[in-house]
Amino acid sequence: MKKLFIAAMLFIGIASFAQDADQNPSREPRERMTPEQRNEKQLKKLTTELNLDASQQAQVKQLLADRSAKAEKFREARKDKKDSSTKPTAEEKAAFKKQMEDEVAANDAKMKSILKADQYTKWKALQEEKKDKAREKMSEHRKDKI
């Protein structure tokens, strides 16, 4: 009887701590937005944060559309390479990294030409905040995996 009771308590203890990914209440599934919806959301946020005027909004909207189209093209190329199950060489990785850095620099230069000086500095600060949050999330994610 004592062994049965201990076994039942052990089973209940294990079952109560087992977590299913679908039942995690802290993470609600997000609805997928189209690239256009993401661009509109980002444009609205930038408009409120940076006080963009109408001409700046039009230019930023075009820039966001171009950037998302390029990102989709990169994503597709990367997916094709991943599906072929051949790992990229160190040179290919370095070339891809250089290409991405060039894209970021070009985007930065375009934003600098669109925005006023004070708006640009605020935008750069927002970018840094975004990077810091991403780093925090990544480090938390790595800690959770350990």
pTM here? Answer: 0.69
pLDDT digits (tens, 9 = 90+) for 73-115: 888 888 887 777 778 788 888 988 999 899 999 999 999 999 9
Residues in CB range of 96: below 8 A, 6 or more apart: 88
Model confidence over 17-49: pLDDT tens digits? 655 544 555 556 677 888 889 999 999 999 999
Burial of residue 103 (number of CB atoms within 10 Å: 0-12, 13-18, 19+): middle
